[in-house]
Amino acid sequence: MKWGIDSEEFLILFLGRLIPRKGAGMLIESFREACPVSGTLVIAGPEGEPGYSKVLRDQVRQLALGTRVLFTGPLYDDEKKAALADADLFVLPSKYENFANAAAEAIACQVPVIVTDSCGINSLVDQRAGIVVPVDRQALTKALAELIGNRPLYERLRSGCKDVARSLSWSRLTELMEQYYAEILTEKDGVH
């Protein structure tokens, strides 16, 4: 990886705008508890609220996490793809997301995810390509520890990423929309 992270370290990736509702602060706390001595947390994304990046950096300093938490700033194109390819786990503990595109991109790269039940993608992810948790630090900490410490579960979810990614493809989404329209037309014809 570009930032000199040891390839043996478990790498957790947060990718999104740095705003309070995305949950990076809660993730930093959970990371400290679930990974007390090893692992790397990469926080990637543009500052979406002035001064919030400093708040997160101060939090890392106060928790004495040192260089185990890396802030990259925004990542685009090849840098973003490389970060996803290097990640072992993607985490988005957001208070609300319409869908969670970054989580879908991680899944497409065969990276298991942890998302909250407030992310629109949660029903596609749950126990197939990752773990869904409530917006709660203890639940997030437990899920992190479980995925890091339970290799069979991690591998099962990693394998599940392929099926979930297929269900997110444009051809599959088009097929589903056609089915929905056909059902609506059938119901409409039945009403007349």
Determine the pLDDT at residue 111.
98
Sorting pLDDT into bands at 50, 70 and 90, what band is 73?
very high
Residue type, 11: L
Contacts with 115 (C-beta within 8 Å, 6 or more apart), sequence order: 91, 92, 93, 94, 97, 100, 103, 121, 122, 125, 130, 132, 133
**H-helix or E-strand spanning residue 114:** strand 113-116
Please, what is the average pLDDT of the chain? 92
Domains, the chain, with CATH or none: 11-191 (3.40.50.2000)
The pLDDT tens digits of the residues spanning 149-184 come to 999 999 999 999 999 998 877 676 576 567 767 878
The pLDDT tens digits of the residues spanning 74-119 come to 999 999 999 999 999 999 999 999 989 999 999 999 999 999 999 9
For the whole model, what pTM was predicted?
0.88
Please say if the pLDDT value at position 68 is more than 80: yes
Percent of the chain at pLDDT above 70?
Answer: 92
